[in-house]
Amino acid sequence: MQKITPFLWFDNQAEEAMNFYVSVFKNSKVLSVNCYGEGAPAPKGTVMTANFQLDGQEFTALNGGPMFKFSPAISFVVHCETQAEVDEYWEKLSAGGKENQCAWLEDKFGVSWQIVPNVLIELLSDPDPAKAGRVMQAMMQMTKIDISGLKRAYMQE
């Protein structure tokens, strides 16, 4: 069992969200679904928690009611190797949600994600502050990250 598990509070979409996320990420699976019993704060037999893995990372989703909402203050970073991978995750996770600046999106459930190509971190870490600064400026103009656009900014003189 992993030491730390992200726990996501949904109104009543925990199972739907779990199934969606498992369909988006490779090497993912449903682990278990637990339902409310008698005397619970929700109708008996409705989903209480949904446990799943996304590419080996365990998550728990709870149908806890409408009291709490997601915020971009907490997000999940998806590290990508290629533009095709960025494009795939961006398309799937932003469907029905909202695209934001600098690799951020909010999915249809309100959960925030950052779809980040690894090259972005490498270029922003360049010891030449002028190169890193140009990459930062390019990124600030993007919603979904365009790797070729980052590389063009990096190479400018």
> Closest Cα to residue 53, out of 28, 85, 77, 71?
28
Cα-atom radius of gyration of the chain, to the nearest Å?
19
Torsion of CA 107, 146, 23, 63, to 10 degrees: -20
What average pLDDT does this structure show over 1-12?
A: 94
Please, what are the domains in the chain? Answer: 1-68 (3.30.720.100), 70-157 (3.10.180.10)
Q: Does residue 137 register a pLDDT over 80?
A: yes
Tokens of 21: 């996320």
**Nearest Cα residue to 97 out of 115, 112, 85, 76:** 112
Helix (H) or strand (E) holding 150: helix 147-155
pLDDT band at 1 (very low <50, low <70, confident <90, very high): confident
Q: Residues 30-40: pLDDT tens digits? A: 999 999 999 99
Is 146 a residue whose pLDDT tops 90?
yes
